Amino acid sequence: MRRQTLFRMNRIKTEALVPMLLLSLSIGGRAQQAAPVHLTLDQTIALALKQNHSLQLRELSVKEMHNKKDEAKAAYLPHIKTEASVLHVTELSGIQIPAGAFGSPSSTGPIPSSSLFLGQGALTSYTDGVGLEQPLTQLFRIHQSNVAAGVDIHVAETELEQSQDDVALKARQLYYSVLIAQLQLKSSLDEVESAKVKAAESQSDVERGNALEVVSLQSEAALLSAEQKQLAAKLNLDDSKRQLADLLALPLHTQFDLEPEDASILLSIPSREEAVRIANDSSPELRIARQTVEKAEAGVAAAKDSYIPDITALSRYSYQSGIPFLVHNFGTFGFTLSYDLFDGGSREAKLREAKTELASARVNLERLEEDTAAAVETAYDRVEELQQMVAVAQQAVRVRNEAARLADRQFEQNAALNSARTQAQADISSATASLLQANLGLYLAQADLKRTIGQMPR
């Protein structure tokens, strides 16, 4: 009797705590709670692709790579710039011509008649001009930098496509996770009701002497367990909603009104051998790895080109004032050559570094090719396993529906207790949630396979 009283006290405490906990979980969001957001699956995916912050960062990364490509491309073109200077010198030398330096004819006298001083310019000189410089041999290195910038664009775009696929898949997963959590919560509520009916029936049997006291205690324990399961289901539902709101860049306490969707849609997948071939050609990871090899090869070529002297063609139109022996306006054109005779081994070190990066990129490509083949095999095994689970879950739903139909008929004929009927209804809800979860798992496994081979659907 004491044990029965203890279980009843625990039940009373739990019944009092459950509503309080549920209220505390939602009290933070009720202050700002608005009307539920009605969404279909397609609308959810579209909203995620539009508002997700990680995708926005990826899109900005693509724009950044395009800007860097434009910057590298500009190095092909001539550089036109203007320069001006003002210079002041403290002292200038000149030419002293003494009297009679050029002779002393009798008719004219000394030439010149007196000493002359010819100055060389002015103490302050002014120069200004517009010049054009066109790199010549540097074009080899410029070409390699453009190749590397183009590879960076392809990598950024591939990563953006991957992120879009990931977000679309995550949106679908969370959409169905909310629906599954709602079914699980309904199932737990049905189980609580069924446990209450069983507890009442057990207590009635004990009072009539038709059952031992331990049966009533077991019913009390089952009720407590069902209430704990209900609380866990509510927590799971709230967590799924928060994750969906975060993915859609909505307030975390947003409430959703999601339309039920058919999760049994299957994707068309190729055979194992065909999938491996497609993955070698289209896998995003392999594409990025091959592009990384291409960029590393451009780096090696650029390091080798650094041994070529820099030859630049130039032309300039200038104005000067204060510089001797030059007209005010004049032009210049020609070539310049620059070459580092000694750089302390810097060029050789950069070349070795570039070759090491190239070797590392090639090894990584080989590793990814092997890993991709293994990932395809693993994904196929997972798909086949989940196909069997879906078949079992479908059979379970059919069996539960038939059992509920029989339980209703037996209850109407007074051949079964009310607890059997309520338990049958709870079993249907649980089996339906399990079927939806199995269908979602199968879709996600197929989607993971298609993403591995580079054919992820949106």
Residue 211 backbone zone (phi > 0: left; psi -120 to 50: alpha; other: beta): beta
The rounded distance, in Å, linking the Cα atoms of 424 and 430 is 10
Q: For residues 223 and 10, what is the distance between their CA atoms, to the nearest angstrom?
A: 11
Supply the pTM of this predicted model: 0.72
Structural class in CATH, domain 2-87+119-452: mainly alpha
- The separation between CA 317 and the C-alpha centre of its own chain, rounded to angstroms, equals 52
Sign of the alpha-carbon dihedral angle for 71, 76, 82, 88:
positive
Beta strands 124-135; 94-97: pairing state = unpaired
CA atoms of 160 and 284, how far apart (whole Å): 10
Nearest to 447 by CA among 438, 457, 432: 457
**What pLDDT tens digit does each residue of the chain (458 aa) get?**
443 443 344 444 444 443 443 334 444 444 445 688 899 988 998 999 999 999 999 999 999 999 999 999 999 999 999 999 998 888 777 778 888 777 778 777 788 778 877 777 788 889 999 999 999 999 999 999 999 999 999 999 999 988 998 898 899 889 988 988 888 888 888 888 877 877 777 777 667 766 556 667 777 787 888 888 889 989 999 999 999 999 999 998 889 988 887 666 777 888 888 888 888 888 888 999 999 999 999 999 999 999 999 999 999 999 988 887 788 899 999 999 999 998 889 999 999 999 999 999 999 999 998 898 888 888 888 888 888 888 898 898 888 888 888 877 777 777 666 767 777 877 888 888 888 888 888 888 888 888 888 876 55
* Per-position DSSP letters for 264-308, written without gaps between them: T-------HHHHHHHHHHH-HHHHHHHHHHHHHHHHHHHHHHTTS
* 1-6 LR contacts (CB < 8 Å, sep 24+): 1/213, 3/217, 4/213, 4/216, 4/217, 4/220
In the chain, where the domains are located: 2-87+119-452
Amino acid at the residue 8: R
